[in-house]
Amino acid sequence: MENKQKITNFEDIICWQRSRILANDCYLVFKNLKDYFFKDQLLRCAVSIMNNIAEGYERQTNKELRNFLYISKGSAGELRSMLYLARDLEYINDASFSKLKNQSIEIAKLLSGFIRKL
């Protein structure tokens, strides 16, 4: 399936592995943010990426997995949008913005490739 490796569980999926790192990075960057509504929405996006990959895989059909990968890709876009707002509101610096944005773009590309292979 993905990168020609045998996938036996969702933890083997590269885009799930990368999205787990992204979610953790988001938690670290925004841990002290006092705008709780904003922080909650942003972190939900980040966690949604990895969780939808896992849920789709566990459904055990390519059709269901594909649908959940599209949802995951949408969450990556929503996260990226939130990151722009976080930078505009000066909740994060340019370095953190660039790092998280680039991670989300990489994951979206991995998801697109995975979807195509299904």
Residue-wise pLDDT for 45-104, tens only, equals 999 999 999 999 999 999 999 999 999 999 999 999 999 999 999 999 999 999 999 999
The pTM of the full predicted model, rounded to 2 decimals, is: 0.93
Are residues 49 and 23 in contact, defined by beta-carbon separation less than 8 angstroms? yes
What is residue 89's DSSP assignment? T
Locate the domains of the chain by residue range.
10-117
Nearest to 72 by CA among 10, 9, 16, 4: 16
Sign of CA pseudo-dihedral 45, 49, 52, 54: negative
Are residues 75 and 59 in contact, defined by beta-carbon separation less than 8 angstroms? no
Residue-wise pLDDT for 21-49, tens only, equals 999 999 999 999 999 999 999 999 999 99
Assign domain 10-117 to its CATH architecture. Up-down Bundle (1.20)
